[in-house]
Amino acid sequence: MTPRPAFLRQQLVPAVVFFGLAYALAHAPWVQRIEDVTLDFRTRFRATHQDPPDPRVAVIGVDDDSLQRFGRWQDWPRRNHGLLLHALAAAPEKPAVVGWDILFPEPSADDEHLVDGAAALPGRVIFAAYASNDAPLAQAAPDELSPDLTQPITRIEGDAAKLFSAPYALLPVAPLRAVGLTAFVDTPAGHDGVRRTVPLLVRVKDRVYASLALQCALRFWNLTVADVRVRPGEAIFIEGKGVTRRIPIDEAGRFFVNYRHNIADYLARDQAPGHAQIAIAFHKKYVERADPGVTLPNLGGKIALVGLVAPGLPDNGPTPLSPETPLVFVQANIVGNILGEDYARPANPFWVWGLALAIGVAGVRWLSDKRLRSYTSFSIGVPAIFAVVAFIAWQRWSVAIPLVAPVLGFGSLQIFVIGRRVLSEQRKREEVQGMFGTYVSPAVVDRLVKSGEPPRLGGHESEITAYFSDIQGFSRFSEQLPPDRLVELMNEYLTACTDVVTDEGGTLDKYIGDAVVAMFGAPIALPDHAYRACLVALRVQRRLAELREKWRAEGDRWPSIVWEMQTRIGLNSGPCVIGNMGSRTRFNYTMMGDNVNLASRMESGAKRWGVFTLCTQATKVACERDAGDRLVFRSLGKIRVVGRGQAVGIFELVGLKEEMSAATRECLAKFDAALARYHARDWPAAIAGFEASAALEPYQPGRDVGVASNPSLVFAKLARGYADNAPAAGWDGTHDMREK
């Protein structure tokens, strides 16, 4: 666990700093632009697999077909629109509301056609107005709105001064204002030209009016602005005739449009018939009582929004769905949002930033000391998961989770932590390599670095297995080889031994002439240090056999003594003192203690018992604890070494169980039986048993190079001696080693 001051300094403070900077940047224009782009992408992705549009909303569009039938838009007389309203009024199932997303601010010679058409649908027609900063025509003064039809919203709880406003309003001509309601169709572009929020309220001077979408919803429910209560920065509340709505808005009265459908979605549901098609076909069927020749859409009880949809017409603009969207579809989406209570809403920033900070701190606290690859996966995986969550939240719940700034904060923190860790590990690696690079394997150096803690220097007690090896009869090599050849031979032999030691995680302590001294379990703890040391002993013996064959194959290059080289190995496990020891200017990472001395005695005692690898009972027990019965040991009784009063059990490391021949297994069985008779002082039976096992010994004098004896021959000789001169009455089979 990281101490609290270190946690604050190394983990919490950097996290707070980087997330704080990211939060400060969240409102920067360039960050907001990128954020908007990511939300637009989520919106377009969502639109590809949405349910159909609300069937209560239809768009009657001035489309290409309408332009082909009625001519250029600029030349359209208002009787075309009057024809549409008369046709809709003649249908037995009339639309509940007809909202015009087309402005009629200037008088025309045929206004009466449009006026008569609106009069045929009393209380159902809403004409468009537009807030303006420029003084409009005289008849467009805001106080000329018909008070009995279009009334301002008066129930405003809070500051209305921040609502979307303009000093003037571009209104429909007076005859239209007298027969229909008026509502505002303003859809101001955002900072990048894209319409993401649209005002549902427009303040002209000191009066607040409803937008076209809001007014359409009210008329659909047969409500008026008297049923509307506004709390800027919170919501528009609609309450009346069993209808309750809470429409979220910001302080300016803007509504966060939850774009779900574009023109293709309405066309697929036959909810976007053409203006001319409706006007002509409905008139032909319901006025002329003739066959229109086409299937007519059912607009009964619906909100019909009339607008320009043909490409190239002026009422287009960028939306998250498309760079050129007919703006009447913006109104259609808003109306669908209100009717279905399908509101988009930004995620609570407290939860977003709080959770991002918590994950960032948790990752730094609990994962920063793990493998760099794992932490890098965390650093990449968390933003990826965060993006998936943001996609799902927008698709399923219309919750807009900010992506850019939190990911920027998280990513900056991870770059800082990874960079700091890379520098720290580089310093640690250089320090550790300087200390241990000459006597441990690169793998051990890596473990030292990854452990996150420098090795404890200056001496500490640790459970290890000490390893000693020595070449049998090395003095003869010195006599028969010139110095340069002896160095060459020793370099090859010691390299082979050291490679095997370090491959199994051992640490080279030192070379003493031809002797190799190593330890297993320090400076990095190895739970299975005894097992690893035993494997090394077997591998070294096998590697030496390969070297003997190599040297023999080189012919006269080496004397025969080289072909017969044998090495003896001693092992012991137990607590030892480990650390850098020496003077202040010259020191060595080494081991010392009684258990180290005992391992050395095992190496020198191996010759006495006719074996090449001798270990203590402590090593055997630890090895069997970690590896079961994979390794085969042969008990050679007990010995008492010089300077140590307590006897210790000793064992020959015979080999791997899976590699043991039937003859060797039989030999060991006969030897164990003979050893039991030996300890029982049944000398004749012991001698006979040892002689029987001697014939099966895997190493035979005279047959195998470098072999002078074996355990069966050694114990047979001991048994004969005791048969001639029986030991004292208190003899328990322990042999006293008088030599070191």
The structural domains of the chain, with segments of one domain joined by +, span: 4-33+347-431, 50-345, 449-660, 661-740
Q: Which helix (H) or strand (E) holds 577?
A: strand 567-582
Mean per-residue pLDDT, 217-234 = 95
Band (pLDDT 50/70/90 cuts) for residue 146 is very low
CA 123 to chain CA centroid, Å, is: 58
Whether the full predicted model's pTM is greater than 0.95, yes or no, is no
> Does residue 627 carry a pLDDT above 70?
yes
When the candidates are 4.10.95.10, 3.90.650.10, 3.30.70.1230, 3.40.190.290, the CATH number that belongs to 449-660 is 3.30.70.1230
Torsion angle defined by CA atoms of residues 433, 439, 441 and 445, in that order, rounded to the nearest 10 degrees: -30
Phi, psi angle pair for 94, to nearest 5°: -90, 150
Dist. CA 615–CA 504, nearest whole Å:
18
Dist. CA 687–CA 675, nearest whole Å:
9
**What pLDDT is attached to residue 678?**
95
Smallest CA-to-CA distance from 93 within 285, 332, 358, 337 is with 285
> Does residue 222 carry a pLDDT above 80?
yes
578: helix, coil or strand? strand
Dist. CA 179–CA 709, nearest whole Å:
125
Check: CB of residue 668 under 8 Å from CB of residue 654.
yes
- Give Cα separations from 190 to 199, 317, 487, 489, 641 (angstroms): 12, 11, 83, 83, 91
Give the residue carrying structure tokens 């307590």.
646
Band (pLDDT 50/70/90 cuts) for residue 140 is very low
Please give the share of the chain, as a percent, with pLDDT higher than 90: 60
Dist. CA 710–CA 703, nearest whole Å:
12
**What pLDDT is attached to residue 740?**
59
- Per-position b or e across 107-121, b if 16+ CB within 10 A of its CB: eeeebebbbbbbbbb
Mean per-residue pLDDT, 650-675 = 95
> Does residue 18 carry a pLDDT above 90?
no
Q: Which helix (H) or strand (E) holds 182?
A: strand 181-184
DSSP string, 662-678: HHHHHHHHHHHHHHHHH
Torsion angle defined by CA atoms of residues 91, 96, 102 and 104, in that order, rounded to the nearest 10 degrees: 80
**What pLDDT is attached to residue 139?**
44
**What pLDDT is attached to residue 698?**
93
**What pLDDT is attached to residue 365?**
72
**Tokens coding 311:** 């490409």
Dist. CA 527–CA 509, nearest whole Å:
19
Mean per-residue pLDDT, 402-408 = 89
Write out pLDDT tens, residues 552-565. 999 888 998 998 99
Dist. CA 238–CA 222, nearest whole Å:
12
Dist. CA 537–CA 198, nearest whole Å:
81
User: Which runs of consecutive H residues, i.e. helices, occur in 48-110?
Assistant: 64-70, 78-90
Smallest CA-to-CA distance from 466 within 534, 545, 404, 562 is with 534
> Does residue 518 carry a pLDDT above 60?
yes
Range of lowest pLDDT (1-10, 120-129, 666-675): 1-10
> Does residue 463 carry a pLDDT above 70?
yes
> Does residue 1 carry a pLDDT above 80?
no
The mean predicted confidence, pLDDT, of the chain is 87
> Does residue 142 carry a pLDDT above 50?
no
DSSP string, 128-157: EEEEESS---GGG-GGGS-TTTS-----B-
